[in-house]
Each structure stands twice: as structure tokens, then as C-alpha cells.
Amino acid sequence: MNNKRRKYSPAEELCLTTQVDGNCPLCGNALFYYKRSKAYKNYELAHIYPLNPTPSEIEELKHEELLHTDVNYPDNIIPLCLKCHGKFDKPRTAEEYRQLAALKKSFIKRSELHEIQRSYQIEKDIQKVIEGLYSSDDMDKELDLEYDPKSLNDKFNATLSVPAQRKIKHNVTDFYQYIKSKFLEIEQENPNASVLIYSQVKTFYLKQKTLSSSQQEIFSNIVDWFYTKTQPQTIEAAEIVTSFFIQNCEVFE
């Protein structure tokens, strides 16, 4: 086997280093250092499955999953600091290969999820709900809404952490009726606006569900989506709104 090492463009290198947040995924050290106000590389692009494996490496990795059939494809490439790259390569072990391959797969999945977040929109009317969460006047209003929710326990499974379950329950107890009232106001001002928002949330949730079976991951991704799209003052607002849609059955049916 004699594969030729591919030269990656500056844009490809930027994508690869951004994918790992500019840090070595194995030790956490920065992939760049600054000297005299100029940035310098402190990494090398590593092949997760070796470019030209030795007979012993072929034997060591014979049962391992390949990230791509082309070992030069970016899915098989990850930036590592110089120390970690050397340690990973010599000697290469199946255990370390699995560790790095799993990290790369998680980075690829995260990138895909971010792309979905960018492509799925939410109506601007949701801002009225978000902004109201920070208004004590709105929150202190007496609300007279029927509230007979399906038990949240019936919607949760073991993939959602206990702290997350407790947070969602508290958010629903404290804010569900208020948010429901805000959506009624929106509907009076702009008929079908709330229905459209509910539909957008449901669609985004279903897309998340095709990518992950973990409720914890889905919850976090929907919170991130709300936070990215609405830019609230704090992440708690995105968590509260996500909790509302869990209770309202758009999420975790």
C-alpha cells in the first residue's frame, strides 16, 4: 500500500480545527500559540486510520470500523498537538484508534446538528414569549387557564438524566401556564402564528430524533437551537421554552 498524503487547503484546515474548537481533542491543549502578536500552528493533521499502515497495524486494526474508505478524506483526519500525534502513531493501538474514531464521529455529528440548526427557522413571534420571561409584570399576572397536563414521567426515559428531568418539571410547573397565555395573545394578534411555531418545533424535534435516540442529546440540541435563534439574555430562557414544548407534546411525544 502506497497512498500519497493529500495536501489540505487552508479552508479545509480551518474547518478541521474549528470542528475540534481549536483544541487538541486528546489533551485539550490549544492548537495554536501566539508570539509577537502572530499565531503559529501547534498541531499536525493526523490520519485516524493510518495513511500507509504497516503489516502490524493492519493486523491490529483489522476488526475496527473505518470512518471513510478514502483515508485522506476529512472524516478520517483530525488535528492533534505534536505530542499527542506522536504518541498516537507510535505504536498505534486498537484501543486508542477506537477512542479517537469515537471523538471524530462525535465532532462530525455535532457539525451536522449545527447545520440543521442553521437551516431550521423559527417564527419571530417566539421572541415575545422569550422577552416576557424577563418581565416581572408579565410573570405576576393572575392566569386562569385550564391545566391538565399529561404526566411528564410518561414522556421521559432512561436516556434523560435525573437533573434534566427535574429541571424540566420545575420549568413546566413555574412557566407552562404563563407561556401558554403568551401564545394565546400571539394568536389573537396574528392568527395561526402559534400553530406555525408549534409545527416548526415539532419538525425540528422529529429531525433530531432521526439522528439520536438519546433524550438528553435531543433536549440539549433543542435548547441550543432556541438559544441560537432567539439570543435570549440567558440559556435558562431557552431551557424553559423547550420544557414548555415537552409538556405541550411537540417534543417527547
Backbone φ, ψ for residue 33 (5° rounding)? -130, 155
Q: Cα(130)–Cα(231) distance, rounded to whole angstroms?
A: 9
pLDDT of residue 58: 93
Confidence of residue 48 (pLDDT cuts 50, 70, 90): very high
* pLDDT tops 70 at residue 138: no
- What DSSP letter does each residue of 15-35 carry, written as one string? HHHHHTTTB-TTT--BSEEEE
Q: What percent of the chain has pLDDT over 70?
A: 94
Residue 80's DSSP bridge partners are: 44
Query: Which pTM was predicted?
Result: 0.69
- What DSSP letter does each residue of 215-252 carry, written as one string? HHHHHHHHHHHHHHHH--SSHHHHHHHHHHHHHTTSS-
* pLDDT tops 70 at residue 92: yes
Range of weakest confidence among 18-22, 110-114, 194-198, 202-206: 110-114
Which residue ranges make up each domain of the chain?
Answer: 10-117, 123-247
